Amino acid sequence: AQKVTQAQTEISVVEKEDVTLDCVYETRDTTYYLFWYKQPPSGELVFLIRRNSFDEQNEISGRYSWNFQKSTSSFNFTITASQVVDSAVYFCALRRYPGSGGSNYKLTFGKGTLLTVNP
Amino acid sequence: EAQVTQNPRYLITVTGKKLTVTCSQNMNHEYMSWYRQDPGLGLRQIYYSMNVEATDKGDVPEGYKVSRKEKRNFPLILESPSPNQTSLYFCASSSPLKGSGANVLTFGAGSRLTVL
């Protein structure tokens, strides 16, 4: 069974602070995908990043960066110089790799972290 | 624009009155799925479909039906809605093909359903 744990239920920061959202996952698969999605107050789910399990290179996109460590089953997300518009619920998710066996490549989500960035 | 479209976005109904939430995608994706989001429980999969005429249960299928007669459409049917089906529903699609967008689930905007 797959499981994603986001231990931080809520985080509150002041604008321009850096903030890291933690994600720990469990899976028996050797290959898989990891994702981060953002859910702003308007409610839609916005894709941020996909990471293959065999690619441990960290990634940076503007103020966003992701640290994937397979040895500790973690895929943490850092926002540098946070802004009010970053306020949202952030979800980490895990998906089986095609060909892993079975037919349901569902996304297994963590419970999410509510990030509030105050001006 | 590549997107997943759900309708209605908001609906208030009464117990037992059958309803359908439509979902359509314009990306020629094989895989489609429905999720519900509830406070404290997160996002849970209801049903999924690997392709036309290929559907199967997810984690919480009770009280729901789906069909996949066309590749682009994947409606969610509540035959006899009950108050415990009050939730925020999301439809999603993805393609298993290779490439930078492969296996990324694209979500619709969500449908907020209230059953009285």
For residue B107, pLDDT beyond 80: yes
Maximum distance among all alpha carbons in chain B? Answer: 45
What burial class does residue B10 get, using C-beta atoms within 10 Å of its C-beta: 0-12 exposed, 13-18 middle, 19+ buried?
exposed
Which pLDDT does position A68 carry in this prediction? 94
> Which tokens hold the place of B69?
């007669």
The values of phi and psi at residue B81, to 5°, are: -60, 145
For a pLDDT cut of 90, what percent of chain B falls above it? 82
Chain B residues 26-55 with a CB less than 8 Å from chain A: 31, 33, 35, 40, 42-43, 45, 48, 50
Q: Do A45 and B33 touch (CB under 8 A)?
A: no
User: pLDDT for B26-71, tens place per residue?
Assistant: 999 988 999 999 998 999 999 999 889 999 999 999 999 999 999 9
Distance CA A35, CA B32 (A): 17
Q: What is the radius of gyration, based on Cα positions, of chain B? A: 14
Residue A109 Cα, gap to closest chain B Cα (Å): 6
Contact state of A43 with B48 under an 8 Å Cβ cutoff: no
Q: Which amino acid is at A19?
A: V
Q: Using only C-alpha atoms, what is the Rg of chain A?
A: 14
CB B19, CB B6: distance < 8 Å:
no
Residue of B nearest to A98 (CA): B96
Tell whether B89 is within 8 A of chain A (Cβ). no
Helices and strands counted in chain A (H then E)? 0, 12
Bridge-based pairing of strands A32-39 and B19-25 is unpaired
> How much is the average pLDDT of B75-92?
97
B32 to each of A27, A37, B51, how far by Cα in Å? 23, 18, 8
